C-alpha cells in the first residue's frame, strides 16, 4: 500500500518540535492579549491544523473566525491572484484581530488580507504565522509573531498541501522530486 510518508524526502519539523513552537507562540500571545478583546482569524485551508493547536495553547478568552482564500491552486507557485472563497462571519469592530496563517511566502496572501480587514476598522490587527519563508518575498510584509523561519523549499504537512494532499501529515517535510515530476 502507498503511504504518504513514502513521498517525503526529508522531515524538517517533527511533531514534537511543532508542538514546542506552537505552545511558545500561544504563551506569548496569551501574555500580550490578556487585557484585549482577541479574535483569532484563521486563513483556511492551510492554517487549519496550526489554528486548532494554537487556540488551545492560548489561555486568555478569545473568539475565533475563519476566512478561506486560495492563490496556489494545484501548483507550487502563487497564481498572483488571491481568491476569497469564504468571508468572515464576525464584524471586526471592537476586536483585537490576530490573523493566523500557516506560511508567509511571497507575502501576497497576507498583504491582501491585511488591507481587506484593516478597512473593516478592527480595534487592532496583527499577523501571526507558523512559518516564514523570507527568501521568497515579493511584497513588503512582516508578521508580528513568527514560529520559525524556513528555507526556500516547498514544504508540506501540518495543514500545508501540495495539490490538496499531505495536509494531514503530523510533521512538516519536503517531497521527493519525483512526486511533482521534478
Ligand X SMILES: O=P(O)(O)OC[C@H]1O[C@H](OP(=O)(O)OP(=O)(O)O)[C@H](O)[C@@H]1O
Q: DSSP label at 165?
A: B
By CB under 5 A, residue 145 contacts Mg ion: no
State which residue, 56 or 83, has the beta carbon closest to Mg ion: 83
Q: Which stretch binds Mg ion (CB under 5 A): 36-44, 73-81, 146-154, 161-169?
A: 161-169
Task: Write the interaction track for Mg ion spanning residues 48-87; mark x where CB under 5 A is met and - where it is not.
Answer: ------------------------x---------------
Distance of CA 31 to the CA centre of its chain: 21
For ligand HPA, the binding residue among 38, 117, 155, 175 (CB under 6 A) is 155
Find, among 129, 128, 174, the residue nearest to 151 by Cα: 174
**How far is it, in rounded angstroms, from Cα 152 to Cα 134?**
8
Is 71 a binding residue for ligand X by CB under 6 A? The answer is: yes
Q: Does 132 bind ligand X (CB under 6 A)?
A: no
In the bound complex, which residue of the shown chain has the CB atom lying closest to ligand HPA?
105
Residue 75 vs 94, nearer CB to ligand HPA: 75
Asked if residue 41 binds ligand X (CB under 6 A), the reply is no
- Contact between 113 and 140 under an 8 Å Cβ cutoff? The reply is no
State CA 64 to chain mean position distance: 15
How far is it between the farthest Cα atoms of the chain? 52
- Which three cell numbers mark 12? 524538517
Pick the closer one to ligand HPA by CB: 72 or 112: 72
Q: Which is nearer to ligand X, 53 or 105 (CB)?
A: 105
DSSP 135: G
Of the candidates 105, 114, 104, 108, the residue with the CA atom closest to the CA atom of residue 41: 114
Minimum distance between the CB of residue 130 and ligand HPA, rounded to whole angstroms? Answer: 11
What does the alpha-carbon distance between residue 161 and residue 158 come to, in Å, rounded to a whole number? Answer: 9
Instruction: Name the residues that contact ligand HPA, by CB under 6 A.
Output: 72, 103, 105, 154-156, 160-161
**Which residues lie near ligand X (CB under 6 A)?**
43, 45-46, 70-72, 78, 101-109, 161
Amino acid at each position: 500500500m502507498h503511504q504518504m510518508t513514502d513521498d517525503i524526502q526529508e522531515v524538517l519539523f517533527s511533531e514534537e518540535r511543532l508542538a514546542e513552537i506552537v505552545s511558545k507562540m500561544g504563551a506569548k500571545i496569551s501574555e500580550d492579549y490578556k487585557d484585549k478583546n482577541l479574535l483569532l482569524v484563521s486563513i483556511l485551508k492551510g492554517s487549519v491544523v496550526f489554528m486548532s493547536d494554537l487556540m488551545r495553547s492560548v489561555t486568555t478568552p478569545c473568539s475565533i473566525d475563519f476566512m478561506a482564500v486560495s492563490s496556489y491552486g494545484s501548483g507550487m507557485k502563487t497564481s498572483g491572484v488571491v481568491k476569497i472563497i469564504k468571508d468572515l462571519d464576525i464584524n471586526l469592530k471592537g476586536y483585537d484581530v490576530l490573523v493566523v496563517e500557516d506560511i508567509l511566502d511571497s507575502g501576497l496572501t497576507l498583504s491582501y488580507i491585511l488591507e481587506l480587514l484593516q478597512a473593516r476598522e478592527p480595534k487592532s490587527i496583527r499577523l501571526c504565522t507558523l512559518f516564514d519563508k523570507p527568501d521568497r518575498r515579493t511584497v513588503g510584509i512582516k508578521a508580528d509573531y513568527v514560529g520559525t523561519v524556513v528555507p526556500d523549499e516547498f514544504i508540506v504537512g501540518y495543514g500545508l498541501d501540495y495539490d490538496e494532499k499531505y495536509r494531514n501529515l503530523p510533521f512538516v517535510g519536503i517531497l521527493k522530486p519525483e512526486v511533482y515530476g521534478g
